[in-house]
Amino acid sequence: MELRDKVAIITGASSGIGQGVAVALAEAGMKLVLTARRKKLLDELAAKLPTEAAVVAGDIADPALPQKLIDTAVETFGSCDVVFNNAGVMIVGKAQEIDIEAVCRMVRVNVEAVYRLAILAMRHMIDQGSGYLINTSSILGTKVRETTGAYAGTKYAVEALTEDLRMQAAGTGVRVCALEPGLVETHLQDHFPVHPRDSLNIKQLVQPADIGRTVRFMLEQPDHVAVPRILVMPADQGM
Ligand SMILES: NC(=O)c1ccc[n+]([C@@H]2O[C@H](COP(=O)([O-])OP(=O)(O)OC[C@H]3O[C@@H](n4cnc5c(N)ncnc54)[C@H](OP(=O)(O)O)[C@@H]3O)[C@@H](O)[C@H]2O)c1
């Protein structure tokens, strides 16, 4: 895909991976619709990007937001070519301690909201005859570690829908991908008493800019090449 002047929606753009991907796609000349709850961070990001960006602040678990994002892309920039469906949270812990309500809120953000945006994006892109949907899964969308089962389950759910949508997209001009990061240096793991970097003895984590470069690589493949899954992890992450 030639990225210049194409339009991408990025969820979770106020921080971490979403921010890294926003910078990489803006450097490739794409116009962006940025969303997350923290408007100030989105405004600051939009102000420093080299291309145009529209900010739509909101809670991605609001059922009305996914359609609003697609409408904003089309009304502001004329199309919706890429959806980077990325916002997510991580709640982990032992059964005796884990906050069940927080687990259920995680399911709403990591599964319900991701499903809503993915399905609406598919409808739009299939009608359009082109587009690229990337859902952020995780290495934990492919395996479970003790205490991470509820989070991993949300990512397994993302993997299942992504694989189905990939099959539905075949022959339509639309491509669908699950992005599976290993440990990336963001705020996602801030709640761990011992950061996984230390417990897994990883010297250097993947950076959000590395994920940005990876997403750009996927999008820049020619029309006949799909990258349905991509696992990106620190070189010294053993599991
Ligand atoms: N970091 C890793 O090692 C890693 C590994 C595998 C997969 N992932 C996945 O990568 C994605 C991005 O995470 P990250 O690592 O970049 O973490 P992060 O730095 O904590 O960023 C999370 C983003 O999601 C947004 N978000 C969270 N809840 C939201 C809500 N209810 N409504 C709207 N936006 C919401 C946050 O924005 P606001 O707080 O401003 O709303 C923020 O922009 C997640 O899906 C995560 O599961 C991360």
With H, G, I as helix, E, B as strand and everything else as coil, classify residue 109.
helix
Q: What is the mean pLDDT of each run of 10 residues along the chain (239 residues)?
A: 96 98 98 98 98 98 98 98 98 97 98 98 98 98 96 98 98 98 95 87 96 98 96 91
Q: Would you say the C-alpha torsion 171, 83, 23, 154 has a positive or negative sign? A: negative
Q: Record the tokens describing residue 84, joined without a space.
A: 């980077």
Q: Record the tokens describing residue 35, joined without a space.
A: 């969303």
Work out the angle at residue 87's Cα, subtended by the Cα atoms of residues 156 and 221, and round it to the nearest 5 degrees: 80
Ligand 1, pocket residues at CB < 6 Å: 12-18, 36-38, 59-61, 86-90, 109, 136, 138, 181, 183-184, 186-188
C-alpha 13 to ligand 1 mean position (Å): 8
Active site residues: 151
Q: Probe ligand 1: pick from 11, 15, 43, max atoms within 8 Å of CB?
A: 15
Neighbours of 216 (CB within 10 A): 16
Domains of the chain and CATH, by start: 7-232 (3.40.50.720)
Q: What is the pLDDT of residue 193?
A: 85
Q: What is the pLDDT of residue 192?
A: 86
Q: Which of 158, 35, 148 is nearest to 87 (CA)?
A: 35
C-alpha 167 to ligand 1 mean position (Å): 27
Q: Are 217 and 231 in contact (CB under 8 A)?
A: no
Q: Which residue has the tokens 């906050």?
A: 99
Q: Which of 175, 226, 232, 185 is nearest to 205 (CA)?
A: 185
C-alpha 187 to ligand 1 mean position (Å): 8
Q: Which of 117, 85, 114, 91 is nearest to 21 (CA)?
A: 85
Q: Which residue has the tokens 């997510």?
A: 88
